[in-house]
Amino acid sequence: NLTQTIEFRAYDGTDWSSWTSVAIKAGAPNKLPIVNITNQSVEVNATKDISGAVSVTDSDGDTITKYKVKDTTGSVNNFVVSGSQVNATGTNGHEFAASALSTLSVKGDASEGTQTLQIAAYDGTAWGDWTDFTLKTAAPNTAPTLSVNVPTLGIGQWVELGTSGFTFTYSDANGDAATKYEIKASADGHKFWTPAYGSFTANGGKQIDASELNGLWIWGYSSNLTQTIEFRAYDGTDWS
């Protein structure tokens, strides 16, 4: 890249004019900034900060000076900037300074649904192309329920989940699968075992991945013991 001052003057056959200076810049064409953002989900009528999900790539290293967002569908103004919902439904959406990016949020619709939103960045020379992302509005999460039955164990007896009356029954009103479970005891006593975690007493709590549940065993203590064990399940949002 080069910026050079060139001077010009004219001659009328008798005298020269004064010099006129012109700054001429040569450089590579500006490359447009590209905004990256993951798809988002939010509960009905809830507001979610998405500023941390936005990143920009500018191969020229230009500083982003402003952004614009666009609400292509939807029944409400889904974008919130500086604490206020904005109308971003026009052709050019809603424009705001880069300094306000930290205040960017989305607001869920009044009912469940999925829509496409857009965001673009300005590098001081040109606007980048719109980047699409999906906003899913979902019903508020309902915590799952879990019921557990453990039979009377023989001293030193190992029992596998699904046998001898040792059962887990998981239910989730939203249809969410369990992602992990927690087993908790207040002291050492009966033991548990899974392929990934080996043997443990669950004293103070032990979380296990849901994939380990099919390999869960329980072991009866080495002498007579009645012990309270607590179990709970996680659906990716809430614990039972």
Tokens of 171: 């239910």
pLDDT tens digits for 5-51? Answer: 999 999 999 999 999 999 887 777 899 999 999 999 999 999 999 99
Average pLDDT for 161-188: 96
| Paired strand residues for 183 | 206, 231
Cα R_g (the chain), whole angstroms: 31
Identify which of 174, 169, 142 has the alpha carbon closest to the alpha carbon of residue 231: 169
pLDDT tens digits for 191-202? Answer: 999 999 999 999
- Count of alpha carbons within 13 angstroms of residue 167, beta-carbon side: 6
Instruction: Write b or e for each residue in 8-28: b if 16 or more Cβ atoms lie within 10 A of its Cβ, otherwise e.
Output: eeeeeeeeeeeeeeeeeeeee
Residue 168: pLDDT over 70 = yes
Residue 75: pLDDT over 60 = no
- Band (pLDDT 50/70/90 cuts) for residue 176 is very high
Identify which of 105, 71, 110 has the alpha carbon closest to the alpha carbon of residue 88: 71
Q: How far apart are CA 66 and CA 210, in angstroms?
A: 44
- Length of the chain measured in residues: 240
Q: How far apart are CA 201 and CA 213, in angstroms?
A: 16
Q: How far apart are CA 218 and CA 238, in angstroms?
A: 26
